[in-house]
Structure 1
C-alpha cells in the first residue's frame, strides 16, 4: 500500500498549482492501519508511518475521527516524518472504524497530496453475554408434565458478531431447594424445562440460577439471572370422610332444614382447589336433597330442597361421595436415563390416563321421614260454574270434594268459604254443596270479565288444623235489568237566533244484546221548542229552537234499549245569553258547579229574609211588658229614656207587617260580605245598586210588579230579582273584575251629631221587645232604620 501512496504523490507532483484549483484530484484510501480496543499502553505508541517520496520537503496533517472529531485525542501524526501514534484506548462496541483525512503540503503551503485513511478497531472479548432481566418468575401446576417449557430467556453479547467472543450457550447453575425427583434443564435457545416429577411438598418455590457463557479464545466471559418457579399444589391427596353429625330425620312437608353434616380430612393445602371438597349424592330419585360444601370447614351440608311425603316413603337411603375440585394426580420416577426425559408413572391429572387413580371416599346414610298432619286436598283445584244474574237465593251452584291423605284423619274435615267478596255464596260444611246466599249481579264491582271469583277451604281437625284450598270461577250471565241513563243530568245551551244543540251520551251497564244502540224520545210539550237528532245510537244531539227563552228548563228524555227496556231521564237545561256573557259557553263543562253556587245564593238570601222577619216580629209593640232593671250589680245604673211621648218623625208599628221589604242597598251590602257570590255582587253593583243611589236623595226608587216602597223590595220582587240575576251570571269568579265598594263616609265622621246613638246595655235576662218603647227619643232613630214606615 505504501507504493500506491508513492505513485499517487508522483502523479500529483507533476501537476501545477493552477491545475489544483481547476481539476479534482483522486483520493486514495490507506486501510492497512489497525487499532486494538482496550490497548493497555503505554501511550503513545506507534501505529505506522505514511511515506510520500518527494525531492522536496512535505508537511503532514490529519483531520477527522480520533483527532478533532469524537473520540478526540486518540491519534496524532508527525508533520515531518508522517508517523501515526495512538494516545489512548478505544471501545469496539462504540466505534468499529476511525475515518481520517491526510493533507501533505509543500513549503509554500500549497497542497501536494490529499489522502483518506481508515483505521480498523480490533475487537477483544470484553463483553459477557447479558440477560435482559435480573429476575424471572413463573407459576406452574404441580401436575405439569415433564418436558413442558416453563420459561424462555434470551441473552445477547455486544462483542463482534459471528466470532467466538459473541458466541455463548446456556447452563443451569444452582437449584434451591434441590428436588429429589426432578431436574431442570436449559435448551439451546434459552428454554427452561424439567424432567421427572415436581413435588409441592418438597418446595412450593424453586430458585434456579441460569448461566449464559461465551466462547472467547483468550478468556471466556459469562453472566447469570435468577428464575423463580412457583408450584401450585396438585391434588395428590384425596379427601377422606371422618364422620357425620345431625338428626338424620326430616318431617314431611319441610324444606330448608339440615338433617346431616359430613366431615372430611385432606392433606393438601387448605382453601385451594386441591383441598376444596366436592360432594355428590346417589339415591335421591325425587331430587329432594342438595349437598353443599362449607367453604370454611370443608364439611358437606345436606339440605332438604323439596318436601318429602310420608305416605310415599318413610325413609330415604343416600350414598355420599367426596372428591376435590381439582382432579387427583400422582407422579413417580421409574428410571433416569442420561439423555432425554425420564421414565415416570403418573395417574390422573393432565398427563395421566383417564379414570386412573384411587376411587373417591363414600358413605351410605339413611334419612328417616316423620309423619305430620297433611291438609285436605281438593280433587279439583279450580272449579267453574255458571249462573244467570238475579237468580233466587238458595240456587244450586256447584259441589266440591276434598280428601285427607292422612289415614288417621280421613273425612274428618269441614268445608268453608275462604273468600267471598260479595257474600254471594253458602257451602254445606259436610257435603261441599255450594248455593247462592244473595242474588248475583253481573254489574257488581266484584265481577271481572263476567267472572265472580271465590276461594273455598277444607279444614281438618288435626293438631295443628290444616287447610286445603280451591278456587271457584262463577260465570255470571247477563239479564236486561238496567235501563239506559244519561251520562250527565244538566247541560248549558246558548240562546241565539238559530237553533243550537248540545251532545248527550247514553249509558247502559248491561251487556249485548241488552244494551245499545238506544232509541231517544222527548216527552211533554216540546213541539217547536226541543228536539233530538238522531233518534237511534249511543249519542244524541238535544236541539233548542229559537223560541226557548233564557232560564232553567226541565226536559224529559225517554231512552230505550234494544229489548225495549226504557227510563225517563230528567235533564236540566240552562239556557243563557252567550253574547251578553261571553263565558257562558265555556261554563258548559262546569255548569254543575255554577248551579250549586247560584243555589247557594238563593238559600242565603232566603235565610236573610227569615232572620229579618223574626227581628221585625220581635220588635212589634204589645201592651204587657216588664220594665228593665235600672240597678245593676256592679253599682252602675241605667238612666230612664222613656220620658218622652212618641214623636212624629218615626211611627213604630204595633203589628207585624203583612209583607217584608228589604232595602236594596242592605241586600247589596250582604252580598258584598260574601266573597263566594262575587258574580251576584257584580250584577247588583252595576245595575240595581247604581240606580238606587241615583234616586235615593229624592226617595223616588220604584220597583216593577210592586207598589212604591221608597227604596224597598218586596219578598216576591226580591226572589224574582235573584232569579233573573242568577240566570245572567254565566262566568266563573276568575273571569270577573274585583268589586270595590262605594265610599259613603269614613268611620268617625260626625255629620249629624243629633243621630248619635247611645250604647244600650241589656242584661242577660228574658227580653221583651216592649221594653224598647220607652228607651228615650234617641232610640227613635235606630227604630226607624230597623223598621220600615207603614
Structure 2
C-alpha cells in the first residue's frame, strides 16, 4: 500500500527527508530488480534508491507552492531490463504547517456611516485570507479583533463586520475616525500568526440641526429714492449641517412692511436678500419692522423630536430722506383747444409739488425738442401753457409736448410729464373739387345728357360729417348742375348740339358750399371741351383742325402718316450731309490762304485825302500785262467798261488790275467751277464812290455819289450767273 505518501512541509533537517519505500513482491532481495521513478520532481526533488526502493526529498517543500506531487514507479529486471510488474502511479501529499499569517487585500479601507446612527449599525466588512491549508488543523482559521477605535466601533470576530458601538455620534462634534482591525489564525490562540489593516470611517451629515440667526434683531437702511427692486441688504441663518441639509428658505411672516418689501433666497450663499417692493417715501413712513423666518427645506422625520427646524429674527428698516424731484399731479395731461384761437390763449395748466418735507418752489419749462416750431409757451411760475403761434388743425391735429419741473433750490433734479394737445376743428376751409376734371361734351350731345359727375373734399372735419351743396354761379344756357345730395353732383347739357369750330371750350363756374357753421363756399371752374364723338359717345377728336383730314381717318392712321413724314425728313437730312461731305474744299478758306498780293485795308483813316495811311502802289501788279489765257470750259462774256470820271485818274490802274484778275480766272482751266470772292477793301484817292462808311463825310455837301457801285454791281451779278450760282448768289458775288 504505497500508492500515497505524506511529507511534512518546511522540513529543516540536515539530511534528506525520508518520504517512503517502494517494494515489489517479485523482489527476492538478491538485487536482480531495479526500481525506476518518474513524474513530478522525479530525479530532482525526489530520488529513489534503485536497489531498495527508498524515496527521499532532496530539499524543503512549501505546500503553498504545490500541495501534492504525482509520480510513477516501475520495477524491471536489471539483467533483461524488462518490467516485472506493470507501471504504478502514486501521490506524495504535503502536510501543512502554520507558516502563513492572515493578510488583508487593502492596506487602508475607507468607509462612512451616517451620524446619529443607532448602536450596531453596520459600517463596513473587512476580510483577511490565510495561505495555509484550511482543511488541516487551525492554521487557516482566522479571528478578527479591534486594536484601535474603541469605544466608538466594534468588529465581529468571525465575520470582520465593523459596527457602531456608541449611540448618537454627532458629526458636528467629530467627523473622522481611524479604526485598526487585526486578523489572527489558529483560532486566535496563542502562537497564531496575525495581520492588521486600517479603516478610516467618516460620519456623514444628516439634518439634525435647525438654522439659527446670529442676532435676534437686524438693522438696515435704505434711501427713499431707491427704485423698486433695489436690494436693501442680506441676512443669513447659520446651519451646522452641510449640503442640502443646510439649505434654508427665507420668508417674511409678519411686520408692518410686508407689502413694502420682499425677500429672496440666494441658493449659492444661503442668504436672504431683502428688496424694495413698492416706492418708499420718507415723508410718509420712516421705519418698517419685519419678522423674517428661516426654515430648512429638507427635514428628516427621524429627528422631529429635536424640535422645529426653523428660526426667526426681527429686521428693522430705516428710510432715509433724500432731496426728491418734483411730482406732477398727473402722470400725463390732455388738453383740447379749438384752432384759430387768439395768440396767448391759455390752453391748460400743469401742477407739480416738492414732495420733501421742506417744500421748495417749482419752476416749469417746455422741452423745446418737443416743440421745435415754438407754437406753445409756458408760464414758469404757475405752469400755464399758452399759444405763441396760430393753431391750424389741418396742418397738425395733435401736439405732443414735454413739460419739465425743477426745484428752484436744486435745478438739476427735474421731472418730466407728457402733455398731449388736441386741436379741435373749426369750419375755416371751403370745399373744393376732389380732383381735376377733364370734361368734354360731344358735338352731337342731346339736352339733359350727363357729361361729368363731380365730388368735393374739405380739409375740415365736422362732428356730423361732411355735407356739400353744388350750384352754378349764374344761369348757363349750355349746361346745368344737378345736386345728387350725396356729396356729388351731375353736370348736364341744356341744349342739343355743339360745334367746336364755333366754340371749342366752355368754362363752367360751380359753387360748392358746406353745411357747418360758419358756412364756407368756393367756386370751382370746369373746363369743358367740345369734341367729335362716334354714335356711342366715345371721344374721337377735340381739335378743330382734325376736320381737314379725310373723313373716317383713325388715330392709328394719323400716327402712321406722321411716322412716314419723320422718316422722309431724316433721309433728306442724311442725303444732304453726305453730299456736303463729297464737295471739294473752298478755294479760299481764310485770309491767310490768299496767294495774291492782297492787303486788307480796313482803316478809313483820315478821309479820302489821306494817302499816308497806305501805299496804293502795292496793288500795281506787273503781271497784269501777261498774255491772256483762254478758258476751256466756258466762253466768258464781254465785260462792260465802267464809266470813268475825270476826277479819278488813279482808278484806271485798279480797274485794269481787277479786270485782269477776272480774265485770268475765266480762262484758267484749273479754276474751280464755283464762285470765289476776293475782298479788295481799298477806297482809293478821290474815289467816285467816295466814302463807303455809314457815316456821311463831313467835307461834302448833299448826297453821296454811289455811281461806282451802281456800275459794277450788275457786272458782279452777271459773273455769278455765269459761274452757276444763280439768283441766290448775286448778293454774295
Q: Which has the greater radius of gyration?
A: 2
TM-score normalised by the chain length of structure 2: 0.44
TM-score normalised by the chain length of structure 1: 0.42
